């Protein structure tokens, strides 16, 4: 699974809007939308922030593991 789909799924599963995640990442909603739509790569700093926020591993977000639980 591509990380863009994981970003979308995590956001939707938590009943959040792109604007909500953009605030957490301190970027514009348009910039975050580009991450989900594969128009811009996800910076490592944003990946770390999202892992902490969702309490999941980077491997899960990146699609390297299907185990959502942080170990």
Report domain extents, the chain: 3-62
Mapped onto helix, strand or coil, the DSSP state of residue 53 is helix
CATH number for the domain running over 3-62: 1.10.260.40
The stretches of the chain forming alpha helices (DSSP H) are 3-13, 18-25, 29-36, 44-54, 58-62
**Digit-coded pLDDT (tens) for 37-46:** 999 999 999 9
How confident is the model over 6-30, as pLDDT tens digits? 999 999 999 999 999 999 999 999 9
């Amino acid at each position: 699974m591509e990380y863009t789909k994981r970003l979308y799924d995590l956001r939707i599963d938590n009943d959040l809007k792109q604007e909500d995640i953009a605030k957490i990442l301190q970027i514009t909603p348009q910039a975050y939308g580009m991450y989900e739509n594969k128009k811009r790569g996800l910076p490592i700093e944003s990946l770390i922030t999202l892992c902490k926020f969702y309490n999941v591993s980077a491997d899960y977000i990146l699609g390297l593991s299907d185990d959502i639980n942080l170990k």
